[in-house]
Amino acid sequence: MLISWKAGGVDDIRTDMKSEENLRNAIRQIPISDYADDIADILYESLNSNSDIPYEHIRRLAGENAEDVILIASERRLIIPEGKDLSWKSSEYLFRDEKYYIPWVVKEAAKRGCETGSWEPEYAIHAYFKRIKEPLGEIMPEYFNEIKRNARYGKISGKEIKGIASRLKMGTEDKIGVLIAECKAAGLINPHFSFVLGLKEKDVTYELHPCF
């Protein structure tokens, strides 16, 4: 069986039962209670099918635990309902009408998990930015780690994110804006659901991905 991710640019890799078990081992390293294997199976099927995963497929994989699995996987932002983003809240469910997608940086971590059996956030961040050919990709794991160190309860302001980039000498204000947009596209950060429309970028509060 082949893994082939959509949106272009992700190399196919040959997988087998060992890869699936490796991914289970990787997901077990994230604190997600008793449903790590079910969540790993969902990620694995989504990667292999090269598509979002509908509720009925999750139901087939997780059985009667499907809704609990979706809640936990979504709270950890390993899967997101189609049409939503990281600011989505789990109280908004319509389980049977939903499809779920995997954020890009989670895809990179899952691919690595299939290979190594480990959950490697820094590797996944570096791999994503290398894949999109970001010139500062080598230091993006350090940048995100610094963002995490300055966050409070998983949230940080746009002003602080820009200040960290400035201290690390990551470029002009325009370049830093590009980096923030790339972090959002990766699934690493997302504007907090309560931010007020019309605020300047520096005033926006961002949520960080809880598994990175």
> pLDDT tens digits for 121-169?
999 999 999 999 999 999 999 999 999 999 999 999 999 999 999 999 9
Cα separations in angstroms, 186 against 62, 102, 167, 169, 190: 27, 10, 22, 22, 10
- Check if CATH label 1.10.3470 holds for domain 2-107: no
64-107 pLDDT, tens digit per residue, is 999 899 989 988 999 998 876 655 555 555 566 688 999 999 99
What confidence tier does 193 reach under pLDDT thresholds 50, 70, 90?
A: low
**Which pLDDT score is estimated for 93?**
54
Encode 50-60: b = buried (16+ Cβ within 10 Å), e = exposed. Answer: eebbebebbbe
Nearest to 48 by CA among 92, 98, 6, 100: 6
**pTM for this structure?**
0.84
Looking at beta carbons, which pairs linking 3-10 to residues 24 or more positions away fall under 8 Å?
A: 3/47, 3/48, 3/50, 3/111, 3/114, 4/50, 5/47, 5/50, 5/107, 5/111, 6/50, 6/51, 7/104, 9/131, 9/132, 10/107, 10/111, 10/131
Residue whose token pair is 């390293």: 29
H/E stretch holding 42 reads: helix 36-49
Output the 3-class SS for 104-133: HHHHHHHHHHHHHCCCCHHHHHHHHHHHCC
**Class at the top of the CATH hierarchy for domain 120-208:** mainly alpha
Residue ranges of domains in the chain:
2-107, 120-208
Give the pLDDT confidence of 15-73 residue by residue, as tens digits. 578 899 999 999 999 987 689 999 999 999 999 887 889 988 999 999 999 989 998 99
